[in-house]
């Protein structure tokens, strides 16, 4: 009879450990869902920021190279590429 009691006690301890793991797993799943939502929000925000910067660079290009200017399209593309490589915190210097 002693073996049965020992087995029952070990099964009871394992049951408690499994319940504890279930609680922890549920919490991990809740945190994971919040992190996924945050990642989606961040990706959308970065896309919006990128679109705004694209519009800024396009407006700057148009302001520097109005229709009918003597500069070639290649010059405008080169200036735009150089501008994109600059950090937004650095002041822009005219070419």
Weakly modelled stretches of the chain, pLDDT under 70: 1, 66-95
Q: Note the pLDDT of residue 84.
A: 53
* Residue 58 φ/ψ, nearest 5 degrees: -65, -45
**CA 34 to CA 21: how far, in whole Å?**
20
Note whether 83 and 57 are within 8 A (CB): yes
Q: Name residue, tokens 């800024």.
A: 56
pTM: 0.51
What's residue 87's pLDDT?
47
pLDDT at 80: 55
């Amino acid at each position: 009879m002693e073996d049965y009691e020992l087995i029952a006690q070990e099964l009871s301890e394992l049951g408690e450990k499994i319940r504890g793991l279930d609680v922890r797993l549920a919490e991990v799943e809740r945190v994971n869902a919040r992190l996924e939502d945050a990642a989606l929000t961040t990706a959308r925000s970065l896309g919006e920021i990128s679109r705004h910067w694209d519009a800024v660079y396009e407006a700057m290009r148009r302001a520097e190279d109005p229709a009918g200017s003597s500069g070639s399209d290649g010059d405008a593309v080169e200036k735009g590429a150089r501008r994109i490589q600059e950090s937004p915190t650095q002041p822009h210097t005219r070419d």
